[in-house]
Amino acid sequence: MRHFAVVGSGPAGFYTAEALEKAYGDQARIDILDRYPVPYGLIRFGVAPDHQSLKAVSKRYDKVADSAGVDFIGNVTVGRDVSVGELLELYDAVILAVGSPHSRKLGIPGEDLPGVVGSADFVGWYNGHPDYVDLAPPLGGTHAAVIGNGNVALDCARILSKTRTEFEGSDIVGHALGALDTSAIRTITILGRRGPHQIAMTPKELGELGHLEAASPIVDIADFPPVEADDALEPGQRKSITILREFAATAADPAKPKRMVFDFFAKPLRIEGDGKAEKIVVERTELDENGAARGTGETYEVPASLIVTSIGYTSAPIDGVPYDERGGKFLNEGGRIGERLYAVGWARRGPSGTIGTNRPDGYEVADLVAAAMPPGSPSDRPGAEGLKRLLEGRGVMPTDYDDWRRIEETEVANARPGSPREKFVRHEEWLQTIGR
Ligand code: NAP
């Protein structure tokens, strides 16, 4: 019997557990560890609350957790309660599926002023991540800006623009819903350092902006190359650009009080304000011969008392695990970090791709593990039994999937009308719910 520890219960962790179970059948026990008693990582804390259909994938993860060879061990922080070195003593292989929980920094002056928040923090705030419950993003000014041209920037801008009725059916947490309801923000500027052809936004997500109840997307046709240039784009990107062109051809709806302004070729130079963010000084850019943004020397100011930087994520380093500072992920070759230690998902590749990208990724790493220790080969490591003994000695009380089910049932029972659940947002609340 082999024993595997998958660290992290987001999509990458669950797909890897599923793949290991398929490869080993009843010849392995797989433990999915998480620092929280609640599973799903990105699905719970990252995917936008108004994108419920994307969250439905957790049903598949439930099936994995219910299968005989897989266990969930929550409330255990690897790197604090147990080290990776200790896990490697206890398990035949350790697979890090810890994602990329931190926002990449812009590295410009003024970035630390109050009012500037990373997308990880902002997304965590409206999704009920315990680290960001008390973020209190300033919503009292009329202007906000989101820096970045990816799907997360779109999520943040859309959430800032929505009305209370548009959140019906979502699982946005009560504190965010209440705060957004009283928001004074009327203009949300989305800053891209390059042009429309270089966006990292996908058509479905962009298309949603055309159907917002209170906000009109504003796009300047002067930012586009001639329409014939769209032919060279890959079909998905061409679709996105077509949507942007439609926005450019449509006048703002006077009945909608909010504007979502796409400001292309705009590179943030610094953030200024008297003790708090008030404006971003940006430099107009153009594309150089390699398609990168090159400053033109022309600068202007974009007013914003809330600035969300949404330019990608980094993994959190773990003691004893080689880390690639530049890539913001663990140093690995095709998922292998070192002897019996692996990484999957964003911890392996960096923050790119959809939820589904993690499936082949997890299966690939499971294949590496199976090649290194073929199913049927014996092991004398204790796995969960040894881990639980060690944790007990340290006063750490792990939780299991039944505990999660109880938390979930209570969240569903607490739901406000029209919402699938009312999430608990603090670690203590999760533990209290299961009588700890
Ligand atoms: P992303 O797709 O990598 O986009 C990052 C954006 O930040 C790019 O537009 C990039 O511009 C810009 N950027 C990077 N450094 C910058 C700088 N110093 N100054 C100004 N702009 C800068 O990252 P993401 O939006 O965080 O998304 C992460 C992954 O999750 C993506 O694969 C995304 O598609 C996925 N996701 C999917 C959904 C969905 O399917 N609904 C929702 C959310 C996220 P350059 O191109 O110029 O570098």
For ligand 1, what atom is nearest to the CA of residue 292? 47
Average pLDDT over residues 301-316: 97
pLDDT in tens, 127-141: 999 999 999 999 999
pLDDT in tens, 236-281: 999 999 999 999 999 999 999 999 999 999 999 999 999 999 999 9
**Does the Cβ of 149 fall within 6 Å of ligand 1?**
yes
Residue 170 has pLDDT above 90, yes or no: yes
For residue 329, what are its two tokens? 């992920």
pLDDT in tens, 91-100: 999 999 999 9
Among candidates 283, 277, 329, 282, which has minimal Cα distance to 308?
Answer: 277
Is residue 379 classed exposed, middle or buried when 0-12, 13-18 and 19+ CB atoms within 10 A define those classes? middle
Q: How far is CA 113 from CA 117, 139, 276, 301, in A?
A: 9, 15, 5, 16
Give me ligand 1 centre to Cα 46, in Å.
14
Within a 10 A sphere around the Cβ of 89, how many other Cβ atoms? 14
- Residue 376: its pLDDT value, please? 87
Are 129 and 173 a contacting pair, CB within 8 Å?
no
Among candidates 51, 22, 1, 39, which has minimal Cα distance to 354?
Answer: 51
pLDDT in tens, 195-214: 999 999 999 999 999 999 99
pLDDT in tens, 379-399: 889 999 999 999 999 999 999
Are 356 and 368 a contacting pair, CB within 8 Å?
no
**Does the Cβ of 388 fall within 6 Å of ligand 1?**
no
Are 355 and 54 a contacting pair, CB within 8 Å?
yes
What is the rounded CA–CA span in Å between residue 360 and residue 134? 37
Which stretch of DSSP H or E encloses residue 232?
A: none
Residue 404: pLDDT band (50, 70, 90) is very high
Give me ligand 1 centre to Cα 152, in Å.
6
For residue 428, what are its two tokens? 């203590």
For ligand 1, what atom is nearest to the CA of residue 200? 2
For ligand 1, what atom is nearest to the CA of residue 201? 34
**Does the Cβ of 353 fall within 6 Å of ligand 1?**
yes
Q: How far is CA 105 from CA 102, 112, 119, 312, 408, in A?
A: 9, 10, 10, 9, 34
- Residue 71: its pLDDT value, please? 97
Residue 377 has pLDDT above 90, yes or no: no
What is the rounded CA–CA span in Å between residue 425 and residue 430? 8
Beta bridge partners of 216: 259
Mean pLDDT of the chain: 97
Give me ligand 1 centre to Cα 150, in Å.
3
What is the rounded CA–CA span in Å between residue 201 and residue 264? 13
Out of 111, 159, 311, mutate this one to test ligand 1's pocket (max ligand atoms within 8 Å of CB): namely 311
For ligand 1, what atom is nearest to the CA of residue 357? 32
**Does the Cβ of 237 fall within 6 Å of ligand 1?**
no
Protein residue closest via CA to atom 36 of ligand 1:
151
pTM: 0.97
Is residue 333 classed exposed, middle or buried when 0-12, 13-18 and 19+ CB atoms within 10 A define those classes? exposed
- Residue 181: its pLDDT value, please? 97
Contacts of 6 (CB under 8 A, 6+ apart): 13, 16, 17, 20, 30, 31, 32, 33, 95, 97
Average pLDDT over residues 165-170: 96
Which DSSP symbol is given to 317?
A: P
Contacts of 77 (CB under 8 A, 6+ apart): 35
Residue 378 has pLDDT above 90, yes or no: no
DSSP per residue, 139-156: --SSEEEEE--BHHHHHH
**Does the Cβ of 73 fall within 6 Å of ligand 1?**
no
Which DSSP symbol is given to 35?
A: S
Out of 51, 102, 152, mutate this one to test ligand 1's pocket (max ligand atoms within 8 Å of CB): namely 152
- Residue 316: its pLDDT value, please? 94
